[in-house]
Amino acid sequence: MVPITYVPIFDDVRLTIRQTVKTKRSDVTGCCLLPDGRMFFSCYDSGQITVTKTNGTLDFTLQQGVCTSHIHFIEESQKLFVTTGCYNIYIQNIDMKKRKTEYSINVGSENYGIVHKDGKLFYNGGSCGLCVVNLDNNSVTQLVNGPLSEYSSIAIWSDNLYFINNDDSVTCCDLQGGIKWKFKNKSFLQTARSITVHNYGRVYVSGNKFHNVVVISPDGNTLRVLLSKNDGLYNPQSLCFDRKNNKLLVANKQYDAILCDVSK
């Protein structure tokens, strides 16, 4: 008998707030939730990356000397890739075991949200669009024409990439840049800043203007508001979903973040 896999419907999504974390930082633009429960936060203006323990206390801080925009952690190699925003043209590679920068990649343009798959870095190049770095030779190619939304993240799930355009629309494309769908709803989503993807392809997006987090259906047709200002959001700028433990980390621009359990 072929096993039956239960795929939750869109309306099944529920969030339960479990913890409020005091980041004690301003202009948090990136976050990362590790399987062991630790949390990374990148702070753009100060050029710092803070690492927080599961109980919310500070573990350690990295001072990068440049603006730190977005981050992506590779658990297998313990490497952290850091983008440097609009004032620099480099992506940094940090060895988290040694807590030192190993090398920087010159991408020749602004750089924001970043993800990794199969030896390639996909990143938001702002006016240069969605770009990809081949880590074998550090060559850079454009995957999708710009402009993308400045200061916004990108996401990857299965063989799909997700990004935010400068008109606050959300696009899903394949790894070759072929567009699958595009979603826009100005009534509930404006100044979109961060995007992450749940198991089964549900897409979470933070809206800075309305202080909310919305979920978009896997086909890009439907939107629901999941979190709002009443739940402690104020200018939410960064999201990270832990697919192993079904947890969503939402970081406000300043001072704090909330950690949620997500229904399967």
244 SS3 class: coil
Residue with tokens 């990295």: 62
CATH superfamily of 10-262: TolB, C-terminal domain (2.120.10.30)
User: Amino acid letter at 15?
Assistant: L
Q: How far is CA 27 from the centre of its chain?
A: 15
Average of per-residue pLDDT across 168-182: 98
| pLDDT tens digits, 232-260 | 999 999 999 999 999 999 999 999 999 99
Q: Is the pTM of this model over 0.85?
A: yes
pLDDT tens-digit readout, 103-134: 999 999 999 999 999 999 999 999 999 999 99
Q: What is the pLDDT of residue 26?
A: 86
What pLDDT digit, counting tens, does each position of 74-107 carry?
A: 999 999 999 999 989 999 999 999 999 999 999 9
Question: What pLDDT is stored for residue 7 in this prediction?
Answer: 45
Average pLDDT rounded to a whole number, residues 156-178:
97
pLDDT at 5: 41
Pick from 30, 125, 11: which is nearest to 81 by CA?
A: 30
Q: What span, in angstroms and rounded, lies between the C-alpha atoms of 206 and 189?
A: 8
Distance CA 58, CA 38 (A): 10
Sign of CA dihedral 223, 168, 202, 188: negative
Share of residues in the chain with pLDDT > 90 (%): 89
Q: What is the pLDDT of residue 35?
A: 82
DSSP 43-109: ETTTTEEEEE-TTS-EEEEEE-SS----EEEETTTTEEEEE-BTS--EEEEEETTTTEEEEEEE-SS
Least confident residue range of 11-25, 145-159, 174-188, 226-240: 11-25
Say yes or no to pLDDT of 6 above 70: no
Average pLDDT, the chain: 94
For 144, 173, 216, the CA distances from 181, given in Å and listed in that order, are 14, 7, 11
Give the pLDDT confidence of 188-228 residue by residue, as tens digits: 999 999 999 998 999 999 999 999 999 999 999 999 999 99
> How high is the pLDDT of residue 28?
97
Whether the predicted pLDDT of 139 surpasses 80: yes
